[in-house]
Amino acid sequence: MQLTYRKAFKTILVRDLTIAIRHRDDIFNPLLFFIITVSLFPLGIGPEANTLMKIAPGIIWVAALLATLLSLERLFKNDHADGSLEQLLLSPCPTFVLVLAKITAHWIITGLPLIIIAPLLGVLLNLHQDSYLALMLTLLIGTPVLSLLGAIGVALTVGIKKGGVLLSLLILPLYIPVLIFATSAIDAASMNLPYDGQLAIIGAIFVGSLTLAPFAVGSALKVSIN
């Protein structure tokens, strides 16, 4: 019986989603972090509507970025601890397929809930009414980039006991372009300016990381379990 790439991808995706659903913290921790961080800002800054409107895109995006960072370790850490990572790497299917499946599962577990809850938090921060579409679009293209690039960092640090700080140092610089173009797109939208240029750049980063990150992650994992 030949194992097709599609079947291998599906099997790993279903496995990771099953584990996440049975282990609900995985889904709720980053989401709660996202909601709490964003809702603290109006309390700290004061309910002045214009100020909030100005900083809303930045706050939502920074919170989304940190929430993703918080959830990243889970991507390979548990599998590494119980030995299933080496079993996965020894399975006959090429490493990039399984890495891509695991990253997709990670995005569904963390990225997707963030996108769904973001408009509500936009209301909380008095986000400009023309910015909602831009917010959703940037998150939709941007959060997969966060998962893809983050996976490289996790793969490199998975063998280290306390790799958390190192992970942030490795990954945050790579997140900055996404952050800059996403917030600039939302700002442009609030001024009724076209923002497809920024979206195209985030899209290009997405396609670039989608094609290259799985190979980088595969090599990094091989180094980490050595």
Please tell me the distance from the alpha carbon of residue 172 to that of residue 207, in angstroms, as a whole number: 19
Q: Which one, 81 or 169, has the nearer CB to another protein?
A: 81
Q: Which one, 97 or 199, has the nearer CB to another protein?
A: 97
For the bound state, the minimum distance from the C-beta of residue 13 to another protein, rounded and expressed in Å, comes to 12
For the bound state, the minimum distance from the C-beta of residue 19 to another protein, rounded and expressed in Å, comes to 4
CB 73 within 8 A of CB 172: no
Residue ranges in contact with another protein by CB under 8 A: 1-3, 7-8, 11-12, 15, 18-19, 22-23, 81-84, 86-94, 225-226
Residue 219 — φ and ψ, nearest 5°? Answer: -65, -40
Q: Which one, 49 or 81, has the nearer CB to another protein?
A: 81
Q: Which one, 85 or 152, has the nearer CB to another protein?
A: 85
For the bound state, the minimum distance from the C-beta of residue 82 to another protein, rounded and expressed in Å, comes to 6
Please tell me the distance from the alpha carbon of residue 86 to that of residue 79, in angstroms, as a whole number: 8
The H or E element spanning position 207 is: helix 196-224
User: Could you say which DSSP state residue 163 is in?
Assistant: -
For the bound state, the minimum distance from the C-beta of residue 23 to another protein, rounded and expressed in Å, comes to 5
CB contact burial 105-131 (16+ within 10 A = b; e otherwise): bbbbbbbebbbeebbebbebbbbbeeb
For the bound state, the minimum distance from the C-beta of residue 127 to another protein, rounded and expressed in Å, comes to 37
Q: Which one, 88 or 135, has the nearer CB to another protein?
A: 88
CB 224 within 8 A of CB 156: yes
